[in-house]
Amino acid sequence: MTLKTGEAYRESLKALKLNVYANGEKIESIVDHPLIRPHVNAASMTYDLAHDPSCEDLVTVTSHLTGRKINRFTHIHQSTDDLLKKVRMLRMISQKTGTCYQRCVGFDALNAVYSVTYEMDQQLGTDYHQRLKHFLHDVQENDLMVAGSMTDPKGDRSLKPSQQADPDLYVHIVEKNDRGIVIRGAKAHMTGIVNSHEMLVMPTTALGEEDKSYAVSCAIPTDAPGVIHIFGRQTNDERKYGQIDQGNAKFGIVGGEALTVLENVFVPWERVFMCEEHEWAGVLVERFASYHRQNYGGCKGGVSDILIGATATIAEYNGTAKASHVKEKITEMVHLTETLFSGSIACSAQGSPTLSGAYLVDPLLANVVKQNVTRLIYEIARLAQDIAGGFIATLPSEKDLVHPEIGKYVQKYFKGVASVSTENRIRIARLIENMTGGTALVESMHGAGSPQAQRVMIMRQANLENKKRLAKILAGINPDQN
């Protein structure tokens, strides 16, 4: 099997022996649990669309390893066309889900580890790349969902990993033997981890010699002994137990993140792709970050398409759609959305091959994409809330709407234009409320790294010395002199 269906994906999750907790209780079936079901549904879309002829060119591709047709989320980019199709695919799926579908992080991790292990082997004489290719073959043939696992809890940010009062605040190697390694620590904010088959662990920062035990990359089944998942709270997540109030009932909001604890987890050598080679940790972090920041104009572009549609709809339901200022604000939302998308297209079009043959995006432009997202998404959300009106924050619940005694008052006093039902007005208002609320915006700010992390990379990639040289030449100054 190389292409699962959404239903086959759900069945494969039922076969896992996951150790998942949410709200202080152990979850026996993630597929059926109200808190997690929407995220499973969103990820299922990435499987079902692979069987849709209208999406085939974007969602499927030929494996460079086997020559077989595979899901693009398990592919290693072989050209700028692959990078461009990735962005277009992300926007298309976001238009269908209105939220995160969680496979991007693992997709980017596979590509980053693929090229970095190749270069490590060339310099160090290791066999990490061959191990990675064996793992990748299994991922492609079984159409597995991989969770990219980079972010550590970090503890005191002013201290290096080895200086922390608690060494487990960064994932590290605690034992090496003939069979493999044992690791301990935790990975935080893990998007889609509880409904993934594998987690691909990577270091979270550049490391020095004193921190070499933290330089580890490996693949771990999500239900391996010692792996504990603690599902995170989201804004308004109790509404998932209802229907209307959650806004996007089928697919939820954001990606179902969790804290994943690694309590002395054994990893066999064939699944280890970095073991104390601290000099390579920073390279892997930067390469992964570039791939992941590339995504945001695609996925956030698609989500913004939904939000623009919802905003235009609520304007119609409110009777304000013809107002010139409303039209102008919606025009601005479109402009900002296409600005985000164009950045992702640009960094993909200017991609180039790594030594492994896999293609990497333009790192400078990829970081510019994510920096823009940390600002423009907030303005898009602000405009949506402006047009929708304050009632999106003060609506009674759906239980009040259907209540035998007070429901008639909710129906009466939350009516907009006469031709639209009160329930439909409330539904679209709830969608806007949840798409522009806390969890969704925090992810736009901190997903794929904080704004400052992008600014560091932008300055590092800016080639400021060359810009100074260009200016000196035009000013008639010898560029090799001060």
> What residues are annotated to the active site?
100, 104, 191, 257, 292, 296, 299, 443
Which of 220, 358, 221 is closest to 287 using CA atoms?
358
Sheet architecture: strand order including 272-275: 146-149, 198-201, 216-221, 272-275
Which of 90, 75, 106 is closest to 3 using CA atoms?
75
CA distance 295 to 276: 30
CA angle 433, 437, 440 (to 5 degrees): 120
* Polymer length in residues for the chain: 482
User: Is residue 149 within 8 Å of residue 229, measured between CB atoms?
Assistant: no
CA angle 438, 423, 397 (to 5 degrees): 50
Residue type, 354: T
- Give 420's DSSP letter: S
H or E, element range at 38: helix 37-48
Token digits of residue 377 = 């998404």
User: Is residue 147 within 8 Å of residue 190, measured between CB atoms?
Assistant: yes
User: Is residue 256 within 8 Å of residue 39, measured between CB atoms?
Assistant: yes
Token digits of residue 133 = 């290719």
CA distance 446 to 255: 13
DSSP sequence for 96-151: HHSS--S-HHHHHHHHHHHHHHHHHHHHH---HHHHHHHHHHHHHHTT--EEEE--
Q: How far is CA 450 from CA 291, 454, 457, in A?
A: 15, 7, 11
